[in-house]
């Protein structure tokens, strides 16, 4: 029998996934659970048949183009793949896969969590209680914004956005509007209580809450810039559970400081794990440490999905989630 394919896994993954990886492959896990350097990623590609990176690993053209590369597949642990230079991978004949579908519900839940927390000042309120500043209930204390019946604007209308629309419309009676260059059928949109708008700008002008669900690409970098933030209502909130560089973080800080918008809920940041210092002191901003898919159920499902793609690849069968 031929030896098992060697797979380098760049970060610790759930124990059940690690055990399955060891069963299927000659798996090497980065036990330090710290990001690999460019040189370490290059070494992995030279010494293994496959790389299983996470969305925070910078798999650049420099990494992929290392001399003596042995690996033929990069199985990304995540639905997003902006951490990988897809153009370079395609030119080099590398297969790249991702893990769609399995994290849709959890990421939609986080988007709704951010929306509710910002509207109802939940982060601020918890800090108030923990800081022992609360003196008791009173009619005008920490008044927030009602969510039910308000307008939710979705930028992008893929799997996660549709799951958010379902929760918002059927759970909270929100009116849902959206902008997407590839809209669903009118029937599917109606089932989700969602109405298309002709442009991103139309959504920004009308929505009480704007939630971002577009991929991170060169075209969407700083999609929400100073000019577009000025189109939002002064009592509107921005929610981002997509990717940090979709928002110009400096422009967002300026908009929040100027009162251009009322608040923001962020699970992702432009220069993760660094967060713009000004955001840390703002009570009208909810900040989460990229928790979109962070449940054991989903992280296990992501790991098994990545391993399934590897298993199919090494069996000479079509992979399930091919990006290139």
- Which pairs count as long-range contacts for 129-133, CB under 8 Å and 24+ apart, including other chains? none
**What tokens does 93 get?**
């004949």
- Residue 88 CB partners (closer than 8 Å, separation 6+): 60, 61, 64, 65
Could you confirm whether 305 is annotated as catalytic? Answer: no
Q: Return the CATH superfamily for domain 104-287.
A: NAD(P)-binding Rossmann-like Domain (3.40.50.720)
Tell me the average pLDDT across 175-200: 97
Judge whether residue 317 has pLDDT over 80: yes
Q: Please report which confidence band the pLDDT of residue 301 belongs to, taking 50, 70 and 90 as the band edges.
A: very high
Q: Are 30 and 49 a contacting pair, CB within 8 Å?
A: no
Q: pLDDT per residue over 228-265, tens digit each?
A: 999 999 999 999 999 999 999 999 999 999 999 999 99
Could you confirm whether 272 is annotated as catalytic? Answer: yes
Domain locations in the chain as residue ranges: 6-102+296-314, 104-287
Q: pLDDT per residue over 50-79, tens digit each?
A: 999 999 999 999 999 999 999 999 999 999
- CATH fold for the domain made of 6-102+296-314: Rossmann fold (3.40.50)
Please give the share of the chain, as a percent, with pLDDT higher than 70. 99
Q: Please report which confidence band the pLDDT of residue 310 belongs to, taking 50, 70 and 90 as the band edges.
A: very high
Which of 18, 43, 272, 300 is an active site residue? 272
Judge whether residue 175 has pLDDT over 70: yes
Tell me the average pLDDT across 135-162: 98
Judge whether residue 23 has pLDDT over 90: yes
Within 10 Å of residue 166's Cβ, how many Cβ atoms?
17
Which of 69, 228, 243, 305 is an active site residue? 243
Which of 69, 121, 213, 290 is an active site residue? 290
Residues constituting the chain: 324
Q: Are 312 and 113 a contacting pair, CB within 8 Å?
A: no
Work out the mean pLDDT of the chain and round it to a whole number.
Answer: 97
Could you confirm whether 141 is annotated as catalytic? Answer: no
Tell me the average pLDDT across 184-208: 97
Classify residue 74 by its DSSP letter.
E
Q: Dihedral of CA 172/117/268/152: which sign?
A: positive
In the prediction, which pLDDT does 258 show? Answer: 98
Distances, alpha carbon 318 to alpha carbons 39, 98, 101, 161, 274, in Å: 30, 14, 18, 28, 38
- Residue 183 CB partners (closer than 8 Å, separation 6+): 157, 189, 196
In the prediction, which pLDDT does 2 show? Answer: 56
Asked if the domains at 6-102+296-314 and 104-287 fall in one CATH topology, the answer is yes
In the prediction, which pLDDT does 1 show? Answer: 45
Sort residue 244 into left (φ over 0), alpha (ψ -120 to 50) or beta. alpha
């Amino acid at each position: 029998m031929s030896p098992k394919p060697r797979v380098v896994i760049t970060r610790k993954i759930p124990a059940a996934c690690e055990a399955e990886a060891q069963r299927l492959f000659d798996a090497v896990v980065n036990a330090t659970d710290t990001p690999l350097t460019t040189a370490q990623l290059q070494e992995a590609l030279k010494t293994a048949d496959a790389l299983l990176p996470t969305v925070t690993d910078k798999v650049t053209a420099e990494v992929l183009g290392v001399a003596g590369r042995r690996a033929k597949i990069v199985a990304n642990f995540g639905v997003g793949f902006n951490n990988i230079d897809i153009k370079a991978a395609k030119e080099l004949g590398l297969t790249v896969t991702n893990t769609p579908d399995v994290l849709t519900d959890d990421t939609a839940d986080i988007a709704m969590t951010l929306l509710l927390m910002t509207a109802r000042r939940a982060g601020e309120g918890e800090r108030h209680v923990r800081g022992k500043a609360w003196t008791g209930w009173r009619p005008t204390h920490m008044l927030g914004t009602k969510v039910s019946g308000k307008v939710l604007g979705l930028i992008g209308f893929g799997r996660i956005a549709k799951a958010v629309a379902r929760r918002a419309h059927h759970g909270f009676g929100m009116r849902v509007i959206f902008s997407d260059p590839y809209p669903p059928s009118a029937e599917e949109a109606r089932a989700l209580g969602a109405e298309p708008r002709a442009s991103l700008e139309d959504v920004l002008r009308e929505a009480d809450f704007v939630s971002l669900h577009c991929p991170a690409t060169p075209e969407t970098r700083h999609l929400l810039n100073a000019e577009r933030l000025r189109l939002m209502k002064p009592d509107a909130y921005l929610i981002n559970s997509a990717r940090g560089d979709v928002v110009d973080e400096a422009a967002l800080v300026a908009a929040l400081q100027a009162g251009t918008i009322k608040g923001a809920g962020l699970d992702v940041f432009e220069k993760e794990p660094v967060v713009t210092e000004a955001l840390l002191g703002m009570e009208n901003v909810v900040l989460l440490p990229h928790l979109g898919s962070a449940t054991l159920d989903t992280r296990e499902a992501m790991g098994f999905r990545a391993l399934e793609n590897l298993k199919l690849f090494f069996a000479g069968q079509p992979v399930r989630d091919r990006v290139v």
